[in-house]
A = this chain, B = another copy of it.
Amino acid sequence: MLQFNCDYNEGAHPKVLEKLVATNLEQTVGYGEDPYCQAAAELLRGLCHAPEAAVHFLVGGTQANLTVISAALRTYQGVLAAESAHIHVHETGSIEACGHKVLALPSGDGKLTAGQIEDACRAHVENESFEHTVQPKMVYLSHPTELGTLYTLAELEAISSACRRWGLYLYVDGARLGYGLTARGNNVTMADLARLTDAFYIGGTKVGALFGEAVVLTHPDLKRDFRYVIKQRGGMLAKGRLLGLQFLALFEDGTYEEIAAHANRLADRLRETFRAAGVPFLVENTTNQLFPILPDRVLAELARSYSFSYQQRVDEAHSAVRFCTSWATDPAAVEQLCGDIRRLCATNQNL
Contacts and interface: CB of A to CB of B under 8 A. Distances in A.
A9 interface: yes
A132 B240 CA distance: 14
Nearest to A9: B27
Given A17-B24, A21-B21, A225-B135, A242 B97 contact: no
Interface string A82-108: 000000011111111111111010000
A228 B9 contact: no
A75 interface: yes
Interface in A41-68: 59-63, 66-67
A92 B101 CA distance: 9
A135 to B, nearest CB: 6
Given A71-B75, A93-B134, A59 B59 contact: yes
Contact of A23 (B11, B70, B236, B328): B11
A205 to B, nearest CB: 5
Interface string A1-26: 00100101111101001001101111
A17 B232 CA distance: 29
A29 B6 CA distance: 9
A132 B61 CA distance: 13
Given A90-B133, A211-B237, A242-B210, A11 B24 contact: yes
A238 interface: yes
A131 interface: yes
A231 B62 contact: yes
Nearest to A28: B9
Contacts of A128: 309-310
Contacts of A164: none
Interface residues of A, number: 76
Contact of A93 (B26, B76, B309): B76
Contacts of A122: none
Contacts of A8: 30, 238-239
A350 interface: no
Given A71-B75, A232-B76, A328-B25, A132 B11 contact: no
Contacts of A328: 25
Contacts of A133: 89-90, 92
A224 to B, nearest CB: 9
A25 B27 CA distance: 28
Contacts of A67: 234
Interface string A123-137: 000001101111100
B225 A74 contact: yes
A280 interface: no
Contacts of A29: 9
Contact of A239 (B3, B11, B134, B229): B11
Given A11-B242, A233-B233, 11 more contacts: A9-B30, A10-B26, A12-B24, A17-B20, A60-B234, A60-B236, A71-B74, A89-B133, A92-B134, A93-B99, A97-B232
